[in-house]
Amino acid sequence: MFRLMLVPFNRDTGAFEDEEFNKFCREHNVIRIDKEFINNDGGIFYSFFIEYQERRNKGSKIDLDSLTEEEKLQYDRLRDWRNEIAVSEGIPAYIIMYNAQLVDIVKRQPKSIGDFDGIKGMKSKASKYGEKIIKLLQEAALETEE
């Protein structure tokens, strides 16, 4: 499935009004995003052409309700980071990591590359992604302490 979204720039706030775009990306399995900057008669926009799939809700193995608020923030950060990598590499996000793996990472809180050995499917991915994952977990934990 495909969707075209325009995200306007708000000159008063100095930011793009991307809430609807972000919500859409969180609620769908994004496969690919093509973006283009548009300046039309003084109006500034980002145009996003999104290829996506509807999320399947049958028998999900992950239980986000069991996560604390801090863990939910960490999960969201990891999921967003994973989706950005998937878009940049042109591959589905689940190829990089499953949502269940992200939940397992959040629950186990790895502090070193060796800590990923106990997370299913992460032993071989730890060398590529481990340091960044640890950093994202730490940043999210610090943010909730403030």
Number of domains in the chain: 2
pLDDT tens digits for range 110-121: 999 999 988 888
Same domain, residue pair 37 and 82: no
pLDDT on residue 143: 80
pLDDT tens digits for range 47-93: 999 998 887 655 445 677 788 888 888 999 999 999 999 999 888 99
What is the distance between the alpha carbons of residues 65 and 62, in angstroms, rounded to a whole number? 9
Q: In this structure, what CATH number is given to the domain that contains residue 131? A: 1.10.150.80
Is 100 exposed, middle or buried (CB count within 10 Å of its CB: 0-12, 13-18, 19+)?
A: middle
pLDDT on residue 146: 63
**Mean pLDDT score of the chain, rounded to an integer?**
88
pLDDT on residue 112: 92
Which domain covers residue 100, as residue numbers?
A: 59-146
Phi, psi at residue 71, to the nearest 5°? -65, -35
